[in-house]
A and B are shown apart, each in its own frame.
Chain A
């Protein structure tokens, strides 16, 4: 599904190249649950951003669903966002002016899903996440864990094939974190959604099927998780 070949990312500063990523080559298949780990500044987030096409690599080739997306125009990229990729953020990044319902609805509006289908999908998601009673609340009226649930529901609404999560539990207490991680695991196993997460926590990484250890921009280790 995802093929990275010799991906490099550096920032040129006064003639000096500051490497963030170096010669990253890896393949991530449909249905995998990959955790990217590493110390601060190792380049985890940059790698995730490149996978999510939020940043472009300085060098290297990136194939997504068999298509070269290294230099993609805005229109194509947005099509991919609408149909294939869901994002989950550490700080949830719900839109403050929209209710829970509207937040989940937003991607469907962009995807131009008809109103009937929209309503049933959102109802389904709210039901699944036990948030029916909270659908008319605004994000600041929810706890962090609840907000992250909405964030995930929003990411799932467009029925993506892959979810990219940047430290999804970084702001959460451990009980809530566990809940989120089990949810990811369930989504991965039951619905076959590919998940790539960046995490600091070894414990969280254990929920996945594979761990990429990154340090100084290089993949140091690529190990399968043994359940």
Chain B
């Protein structure tokens, strides 16, 4: 019986190839978006779950206000290094406690030298203490967890890095020189272990763990603190709540002891807002609870909602098409009923059919995923995989669950409708069950189109905004300009200037890709003005290709430029008022001394951060008066576009000066593209969703028009007999759907307007709300709707009316 039913199911699918293909494709699309989401969630969920031992590992978090983005107290991942010792000695459950470097996001790693090889930059080398591998249960390919970091100046490599440095994982006992900045003498480290990469991602990621000895001790002065990450392994999984109460008490006592004799601080810690805070959270919860920012789950929520919704829409489409198709099967139902089939047997049969279709969709979805995954990974900077998934079984179970869910949801209603056909009515050839449920279908189609039109409008506006951004005048010349990641040194700069083709060599603390803002408050004619200070060298402004609006920029010809002159940008000048050139303002420094500065020029605003941030009112100065700041920017401007060779000459000079540290540089062109990157990724995601959404709503419309055309077969036949032309009949059917699409457009305009307005407000530099995308989206939706409906309408119009009227 099952075999026969499957056979019938297959023959039916084959007979209605087009419908089946549409059904299956639609479902596959919805599933693909959803399964991608599942893959992503699985990936995020799998953080720090690569060993059962990690169940007893906890991250230590302290409440403090150092390094916090808003300078307020938060529970921080980086904590006072003294806590490690406190827990080690005072908490009996603690088996091991380790301190390890945080991921700081400046700099691009350390230089690593092996034997006679050229130095290479390696990211993510972290300094830790002897306990690291006692807390984290890594699998040692060579060496052992107990012995690896026993001594100072040792390093444990991940397999990848070992292969990269030595070409083999058998690197035990070899030595490495690690140089942390360009004129660091460096540490000579011995390789004491190689660990394999765990199957799932880790919140404490590293390419190598070193023990330099810096993490072994705490600062002597009680008021000096070191901050780092800390992890503790306990002898058994404990109740975090109880544990945290104990820790809190321990820490308050500890702080009191530490600050004994320093009366003021001692009183401070009794104020409620200054009570020290210490807690631990299980390692498995670390990734989902980042400090300051939203967790991945919160960030993903809207996307999850959209993808779940798209799946639902594709299921509803499936139901719509299936019920529209069901008329064809009515006879079969009627006959089977009089042959002695139970209703539930019929229900089962139709469920099997939708099961067959959703199974095919699922396979198609897997194929689709295999196809889009590389792009997806690249887009969202993750390494998801389907077949090489660490938890393939879990994934397959999830897919099975999804399969059952989709089959039941999409199959039950059509099966119920079908198995309820009354055999008498069916066998008499009179089985129109009217337009029952048509209102619901209309609402659904409107709903789908609202979403699609909103997406299309959004894409239009986003496209216009990104074009605006990539073509916007940045206020500086980004071509032929590179930024070497290093500080300014006269000796090196002079050598570079001698290379032909190099026009300027300069430094600034403010450049696209690496801007550092030093806020200050000055007094101008008695009123305070808040400014952002940027330290530059003489050539920095011309190197950037600044446009001068008034006065002049710095030059060696003016002795005063090294004394007290400043250049303002437009934004700052606006705060000061008019007739500014030659005027002076004063600033009180930290010693209470009044410094007088003279304004000599005003330059056009230039962008040094993404377009979401407004250009700050900024003062540029060369003089050391009032303090300077320094970041790793060395700007080199070339007077030719063919500067590849010049860069290799610069690298030669660099090697002479700093043989142990490779040169790292970016072109400003790349820095600019990078600043647009996030926006581009977001836009690509929206385009992806729109594609799925638009295809689904077209399928929905197709289903509905099929359904209606079927229902109106008789009406169409009668009209044709009365003399209606094919065109008249096509437009008759089109009209009712166009109304739906127009309604959807009317609904989506204000929705799109509100959402897009909000999105645009995220940019300090943005386009005016354009009108064109709205009109275009409406036109597009109307045209594709007409095309879709006309396929069905034409079919209905050209059928011979005799067939429809025969049995009347």
Contact = CB atoms under 8 A, between A and B. Distances in A.
Given A91-B429, A97-B332, A111 B340 contact: yes
Contacts of A52: 338
Contacts of B429: 91
Interface string B2-32: 0010011001100100000000000000000
Nearest to B423: A54
B24 to A, nearest CB: 18
B247 to A, nearest CB: 68
Contact of B427 (A81, A89, A95, A109): A89
Interface of B: 1, 4, 7-8, 11-12, 15, 331-332, 334-343, 345, 423-424, 427-429
B339 A106 contact: yes
15 contacts: A54-B424, A55-B424, A74-B343, A75-B342, A85-B338, A87-B338, A91-B429, A93-B334, A96-B332, A97-B12, A98-B4, A98-B8, A102-B7, A105-B4, A109-B1
A103 to B, nearest CB: 9
Contacts of B424: 49, 54-55
Interface string A62-85: 000000000000110011011001
Contacts of B332: 95-97
Contact of B340 (A45, A82, A98, A105): A82
Contacts of B345: 110
A145 interface: no
A158 interface: yes
Contacts of A94: 335
A107 interface: yes
A20 B1 CA distance: 39
Contacts of B1: 109
Nearest to B807: A91
Nearest to B331: A93
Interface string A126-145: 00000000000000000000
Nearest to B338: A87
State the 3 A-B residue pairs at the shortest beta-carbon distance, nearest first.
A82-B340, A81-B340, A110-B340
Contact of A81 (B11, B334, B338): B338
Contacts of B11: 97
Contacts of B423: 54
Contact of A93 (B15, B335, B342): B335
Contacts of A93: 331, 334-335, 427
Contacts of A54: 338, 423-424
Nearest to B14: A97
Given A89-B427, A97-B332, A109 B4 contact: yes
Given A55-B424, A93-B331, A97-B12, A78 B342 contact: yes
A187 B157 CA distance: 90
Interface of A: 45, 49, 52, 54-55, 74-75, 78-79, 81-82, 85, 87, 89, 91, 93-98, 102, 105-107, 109-111, 154, 158
A193 to B, nearest CB: 17
Contacts, number: 64
Nearest to B10: A97
A135 to B, nearest CB: 15
Nearest to A49: B424
B495 to A, nearest CB: 85
Contacts of A109: 1, 4
Contacts of A98: 4, 8
A78 B345 CA distance: 12
B339 A110 contact: yes
A81 B339 CA distance: 6
Contacts of B336: 95, 106, 110
Contacts of B339: 81-82, 87, 106-107, 110, 154, 158
A110 B346 CA distance: 11
A109 to B, nearest CB: 5
A111 B1 CA distance: 11
Contacts of B331: 93, 95-96
A110 B15 CA distance: 25
A102 B340 contact: no
Contacts of A75: 342
A113 B8 CA distance: 20
Contacts of B7: 102
A158 B339 CA distance: 9
A52 B1 CA distance: 25
Contacts of A55: 424
Nearest to A98: B8
B335 A74 contact: no
A60 to B, nearest CB: 18
Given A74-B343, A110-B339, 5 more contacts: A81-B339, A93-B334, A96-B331, A97-B15, A158-B339
A158 B335 CA distance: 14
Interface centre among A82, A87, A93 (most CB of B within 10 A): A93
Contacts of A95: 8, 331-332, 335-336
Nearest to A75: B342
A92 B226 CA distance: 90
Interface centre among A91, A94, A96 (most CB of B within 10 A): A96
Nearest to A83: B340
A89 B334 CA distance: 12
Contacts of B341: 78, 110
B343 A97 contact: no
B334 A78 contact: no
B595 to A, nearest CB: 93
Nearest to B339: A107
Contacts of A154: 339
B8 A78 contact: no
B44 to A, nearest CB: 46
